[in-house]
Amino acid sequence: MRMVDLIKKKRNGDSLSKEEIIFFINGYTTDAIPDYQASALLMAIYFKGMTAEEQADLTMAIVESGAQIDLSSIEGVKVDKHSTGGVGDTTSLILVPLVAACGVPVAKMSGRGLGHTGGTLDKLEAIEGFHIELTSEEFVNQVNELKLAIIGQSKNLTPADQKIYSLRDVTATVDSIPLIASSIMSKKIAAGADAIVLDVKTGDGAFMKSKEDALKLAKSMVEIGNHVGRKTMAIISDMSQPLGNAIGNSLEVIEAIDTLKGIGPKDLTELCLVLGSQMLVVGEKAETLEEGRGMLEQVINDGTALELFGTLIEAQGGNRAIIHDTALLPTAKYKIEVQAARSGYITEMGANDIGVAAMLLGAGRADKNDVIDLSVGIVLKKKIGDSVQKGDVLAVIHSNTEAVQQSESLLQEHIIIGDEAVLPPQLIGEVIHE
């Protein structure tokens, strides 16, 4: 088998066999195939696409390029959730205890953030003492005992994906749906999930800017998951404005706690109920989405989900008292109000630029080596569709310096006030399950 023949075959629009895909992945992972040939194949895939079977074969070849987490000793159907990311996306912190409180084991492996705010691990580290390092045995035992655990991703998973992504980044092949889908799904499958729920974002603050591309990606990932025996569901959700009100690590932990108390932002709460319902269905705990939603609402109303979040924090070294006293979390020195320059209605909120405003405060990383300030960020006081009067507070900047002009300017520029009222964007779009 020769790499040049695979490149020519895909260049001509033909499908690669499972054996050919394995040959490419194994060869590139072990340096037997050079970057220039791998780049040529990736570009051919970018232009010619892949069939559902090719994508499934590529995903499993990437999975098998490294270690795989064995969660078979955990009782029940292990459900994982993935979001394609956005601004103010705090859903993992809420969904892990929420779904676990309904009896579905959640063995969650999460990462750090590069961009607007930290990832799930960074947010959890805003809780003093919380440690994200557990041995495999501790991880499994904790999930069996408590139904939930959150740890850092293993560096031994999907080495082929890490190497291919680095090449895609410098060869303009990042935004290829087959390559994105196989990259995401390979990590979920290698992490041991039996079933997977996907939240594919679309809009200004999302990786997939158009609904059409978001739908293509969601369908591709669902096809891959179901093809390889993992029950998979997905939704398309809006990211034309930040999700919830808080952007920043300790601020998002506070918002997650509020949501588990039943007093969180409506959009964040609704998204968690939709995703959580799907997790209960694929986790075989609920027959229908409606039944699942009722179970989730019950564990919020009776406090079970909140207390289980406290149990998770305590089990992993943190102070569970924060669930009742969020003042124990890191707090910024200054709170600076951003006021409306005119009266009218909020018609647009540039989610990406609002996220950048938070990153400039220190809430996120522009470079992977940047150190995050866990206490800083932005709390929005208005969302699309709200009426405002001149002088109303649009947002509050939480900062450890008074020099926040750049962030303040971004907020003033990208929270658009118009004369005519508009409806809020539709939060939940299509639901994909096959």
Q: Active-site residues: which are they?
A: 82, 161, 168, 183, 187
Nearest one of 342, 433, 346 to 389, comparing CA atoms:
342
E strands, 111-217, are: 148-152, 195-202
- What CA–CA distance (Å, rounded) separates 265 from 249? 16
For 74, the token pair is: 């955990």
| Cβ pair 352, 205 in contact under 8 A | yes
Q: Do residues 309 and 257 lie in contact, with contact meaning Cβ atoms separated by under 8 Å?
A: yes
Q: 3-state DSSP call for residue 324?
A: coil
- 227-255 burial string, b = 16+ CB within 10 Å, else e? bbebbbbbbbbbbbbbbbbbbbbbbbbbb
Euclidean distance between CA atoms 301 and 102, whole angstroms: 13
- Residue 133: exposure state from Cβ atoms within 10 A (0-12, 13-18, ≥19): exposed
Helix (H) and strand (E) counts in the chain: 16, 13
The radius of gyration of the chain from alpha carbons, rounded to an integer in Å, stands at 22
Euclidean distance between CA atoms 378 and 249, whole angstroms = 10
| Whether 98 contacts 305, CB under 8 Å | yes
**Using CA atoms, how far apart are residues 87 and 255, in angstroms rounded to an integer?**
14
Distance from C-alpha of 216 to C-alpha of 180, rounded to nearest angstrom: 11
Q: Judge contact between 256 and 98, C-beta under 8 A.
A: no
The values of phi and psi at residue 37, to 5°, are -75, -40
